[in-house]
Amino acid sequence: MPGAMSRGSFYDDFPATSILIVTCIGFYGLEVIYQHKIHETPLTQALWMGGGDDILLSLGATNDRRLAAGEVWRLISYAFLHGGIAHILLNMLALSSLGRTCEPMLGTHRLTVVYITTGVAAALASVGFRYVVGSPSTVGVGASGALFGLVGLLFGLSFRHRDRHLRNDLLYSLIPLAILSLFVGAIDHTAHAGGALAGIGFGFFTPRYVSSGSARRWRMPCYICVALTVVSLGFAVWNRLSIPIPR
């Protein structure tokens, strides 16, 4: 792990990665609870399958019609939702692996900016592609667009600096994402490509290692991304709470 020195717990060493993982798990918990309450799905089954399309949509999944209606907060909230236990477990495994590599290298602020912005880029690529080819609207969820953003960033950095060790870290991080493509249906390859391309841009045009000067420069963009994420997830929760639960 480049430049990493253990200071204690996983959170102490990788705070941004930890918060992202906990937030995804928390929203998956909401999916399970609402699937159980609304559809009376047994908890063990709900835990395995997550929320149905109606639950995901109410909690902030992307949807072309909803985005066209002005619900742009879904461009962020969708990345914290997942379509089943295999989906979230494999994505969180990939996030843990990529976070261990990227956060010590980039710093917490820059990692946060790259993750959120490449997640948005992935959603926009998916929506834009469907608009161009005239595909029907879908319910989009998952952190993999942002994860491919981190993959793209590592690829850009390794290519720019001709770093074999970084390429090895990149290949190791791709294993859970490759498994994900085998076991989870309806993979949005356009979103993955959009996130990866945005990440490659970050890899080519930003410094490899964090410094005190670069840390200061990335602080304000990080705060903006965090604020937008909090607002987006707040809208997601409010949107779900505004829908009455059938009795």
- 10-241: CATH topology is Rhomboid-like fold (1.20.1540)
pLDDT at residue 11, as a whole number? 85
Looking at residue 183, its pLDDT comes to 60
Instruction: Quote the longest CA-to-CA distance of the chain.
Output: 61
> What are the pLDDT digits (tens) for 142-169?
999 999 999 999 888 887 767 667 766 6
Helix (H) or strand (E) holding 11: helix 10-13
Sign of CA dihedral 40, 233, 176, 101: negative
For residue 207, give every residue at least 6 positions away whose Cβ sits within 8 Å of its Cβ, in sequence order, or none: 214
What's the pLDDT score for residue 246?
A: 77
Predicted TM-score (pTM) of the model is 0.89
Point out the residues of the chain with pLDDT beneath 50. Answer: 1-4
DSSP strand E in 33-77: where?
none
Contact (CB, 8 A) for 173 and 101: yes
Q: What is the pLDDT of residue 9?
A: 83
Q: What is the mean pLDDT of the chain?
A: 88
The Cα 113–Cα 201 span in angstroms is 13
Per domain, the residue ranges of the chain are 10-241
In this structure, what are the phi and psi dihedrals at residue 50, rounded to the nearest 5 degrees? 75, -155
Q: Can you tell me whether residue 62 is helix, strand or coil?
A: strand
Q: Which amino acid is at 22?
A: V
Tell me the C-alpha distance between 173 and 234, whole Å. Answer: 31
137-165 burial, b at 16+ Cβ within 10 Å, e below that, comes to: ebbbbbbbbbbbbbbbbbbbbbeeeebee
Amino acid at 128: G
Q: What is the 3-state secondary structure (H, E, C) of 218-240?
A: HHHHHHHHHHHHHHHHHHHHHHH
As given in the structure block, the two tokens for residue 105 are 């290298």
* Nearest-angstrom CA–CA distance, 164 and 139: 38
pLDDT of res. 155 = 86
Task: Write the pLDDT tens digit of every residue in 48-71.
Answer: 999 999 999 999 999 999 999 999
C-alpha span between 159 and 54 (Å, rounded): 42
CA angle, 28 as apex, 23 and 30 as ends, to 5°? 100
Model pLDDT, residue 159: 76
